[in-house]
Amino acid sequence: MIVLGVDPGSVRTGWGVLDWQGSRARLSDKGVIAAPARFSLPERLRLIHEGVAALIARVNPDLMAVEEAFHAANVRTALVLGHVRGVVLLAGAAAGVPIREFPPATIKQQVTGNGRADKAQVALMVERHLGLPGAGEAGDAADALAVALCCAHQHTPLAALIAGGRS
């Protein structure tokens, strides 16, 4: 089972691909779709949508897990993130990939055991769950991998999620 985790961002959208074999996850690939801040919002949205659509075509995931919007202090930031989530969800839906969404606190709780964990704690636990060497997989890709791990923890067995999914 291939799970694509996505952490939407208007400048950096992180993604991570996990290959599930039974109850074990193996990192297949990870990265970031960069949309330069100097570009207009519509242009960044186009780049993100095209990037996610190309990624889906390349990895052919059985399931896509996406981080839900958080409550931002800045209304404009929340609105922009909503637009980004929209193009990410559109790319998955257009490809016929089943999509699950998770709030940040749920992701943190499932991956670290603490719904208020900071980014460093999440990165360290992603590394431990996946058996990766180093001091914590940092950044947007680690956040996306945390979304994919949360999806697996929330929905076991994963095969039940795609039953009746794509034909």
Cis peptide before 157, with omega less than 30 degrees from 0? yes
Nearest to 20 by CA among 155, 133, 163: 155
Q: In what order do the strands lie in the sheet with 63-67?
A: 24-34, 12-21, 2-7, 63-67, 99-102
Ordered by where they begin, the domains of the chain are 2-162 (3.30.420.10)
Q: Quick one: pLDDT at residue 23? A: 75
Global pTM value: 0.89
- Chunked into runs of 10 residues, the chain (167 residues) has average pLDDT values of 94 94 87 95 98 98 91 82 97 97 94 92 90 67 93 63 44
Residue with tokens 């969404």: 101
For 6-25, give the secondary structure using H, E and C. Answer: EECCCCEEEEEEEEEECCEE
Give the catalytic positions in this structure.
7, 67, 140
Nearest to 149 by CA among 16, 13, 14: 16
Q: Quick one: pLDDT at residue 30? A: 93
Q: Quick one: pLDDT at residue 44? A: 98
Q: Quick one: pLDDT at residue 137? A: 54
Q: Quick one: pLDDT at residue 152? A: 80
